[in-house]
Chain A
């Protein structure tokens, strides 16, 4: 559906996006993740044809954005980070304008209009001036604008930025629902959002892609150890000593003292060795019961930090 090859964008000396490659399949929700200033918006602006790239190609449904921009633009609904709203228009007039700008024919638009307004829940504010709407409603109008003309592809740049938690949940639900009928690229710097909504994640940092995978695969592959939390009844020093002797255990840290002779621990072990059974036997032998054992998978947050922070040497 969307193919991006060797996409590069330079501003003079600054390399905003460098050699970015990825594809998005039809019907997929792709998360585009990266810290602020990583090149997310630049990439999206290039895909939608707002700005040209320095080199590389973007193809949507087989059409190249440089060669056949109109064909590509017809297939994309774009919601930039700041929704492009005309404050002096009513919601309804604005959507009508968007429809005629996108050359949606009048009949189609008539049948589409109410569905879109219903979907993003703006039917009751359709006669109000956009100027007088709250941030949450403006965001929805921006999303409605992207949906005008039923484009196959939706590109949403930080769609939940500046919304309150309830609105965020609503918008996420909406995006998930839209994912059933659209191909979506969604950018965000908020990790739970991406793991909640997206099937696949592209992580970008300083203009370069650092990882592409499903959120689950990323946490599986990137951790080079497995982590557990355990609660064990018994004196902490003794327990620690015992666990350290088990083959495969790398690090033990006392997390909390829960009550007299009851502690919780974080245990890191080698990825390829299952240390749970030996731990059980060893503790049983000495009569220290395990009250809780839970494995911790590496969160997207850890992965993100691992991939996007590099330790700089201090001279």
Chain B
């Protein structure tokens, strides 16, 4: 698992993809930050973090699109599967590699609250912590969806699109639920990552939300191992 994680992280940084994604997200965030937070003289980050969730909907599928597709296309999947590791090890190793790149993106945003404080803004620390925690959790869940999407095909672009569509539906689930109403709304509510996000982001540190996100991640990673395992039975 560690070997796979290490290789995948290296692979991200051997290729331009990690740099492009990190700088792109940093650029977009900085624009939001400069013209929103700083210009508006807000001494808080939560609004900004909330806004960029939508950007993650695009960025995460691009981050994860090649994580499993590449192995199938190049035939390196054979090497991984015939090594003395479990399929779960492969999936988790790959997932953690994507998460690592995400964390680099994420760590860069720490510079913003520091600037606010340096400029003399008074920040509410619990709010800030809650906001960042929520952001991390939702990022983890999105990456799990992205990894799952990349297990479904051997084409990177198709994987990115599938990931994007799933995340888009998840983003829009609240309006959809309130439109359909009734029992179906409750079912759909189970998949609503955003409503829980808003709770956490407004400083309500609810342990059930944290467990919810972790379970959501685990379920998608489990599904990914099932997809890979299932395919082993049907291929030549």
Contact = CB atoms under 8 A, between A and B. Distances in A.
Contact of A88 (B4, B14, B77, B235): B14
A45 to B, nearest CB: 8
Contact of B84 (A89, A97, A103): A103
Interface in B77-133: 77-85
A140 interface: no
B: interface residue count bin: 20 to 34
Interface residues of A, number: 34
B76 to A, nearest CB: 4
B15 A88 contact: yes
A220 interface: no
A50 B71 CA distance: 14
* Chain B contact surface mostly: helix
Given A52-B232, A80-B78, 15 more contacts: A11-B236, A45-B236, A51-B236, A52-B233, A69-B84, A70-B84, A74-B84, A78-B78, A80-B79, A84-B77, A84-B78, A93-B10, A100-B6, A101-B80, A102-B83
A70 B84 CA distance: 5
A226 interface: no
B11 A100 contact: no
A66 interface: no
27 contacts: A11-B234, A42-B236, A45-B78, A45-B236, A48-B78, A49-B81, A50-B81, A50-B82, A50-B232, A51-B233, A69-B84, A78-B82, A80-B75, A82-B75, A84-B78, A84-B79, A85-B74, A85-B76, A86-B11, A86-B76, A97-B6, A98-B79, A100-B6, A101-B3, A101-B83, A102-B84, A103-B84
Interface of B: 2-4, 6-7, 10-11, 14-15, 74-85, 232-236
A71 B80 CA distance: 15
Contacts of A59: none
Q: Which 8 A-B pairs have the closest CB atoms?
A: A84-B79, A100-B3, A84-B76, A73-B84, A70-B84, A48-B82, A101-B83, A82-B75
Contacts of B76: 84-86
Interface in A39-59: 41-42, 45, 48-52
Contacts of A83: 75
A254 B3 CA distance: 67
A61 B85 CA distance: 19
A103 B4 CA distance: 12
A233 interface: no
B3 A97 contact: yes
A145 B79 contact: yes
Interface of A: 11, 16, 41-42, 45, 48-52, 69-71, 73-74, 76, 78, 80, 82-89, 93, 97-98, 100-103, 145
A51 B233 CA distance: 6
B74 A73 contact: no
Contacts of B77: 84
A76 B82 contact: yes
A6 B84 CA distance: 25
Contacts of A100: 2-3, 6
Given A41-B236, A84-B77, A73 B83 contact: yes
Contacts of B233: 51-52
Nearest to A49: B82
Contacts of B4: 101
Contact of A87 (B7, B74, B80, B82): B74
B96 to A, nearest CB: 15
A161 to B, nearest CB: 14
A82 B82 CA distance: 14
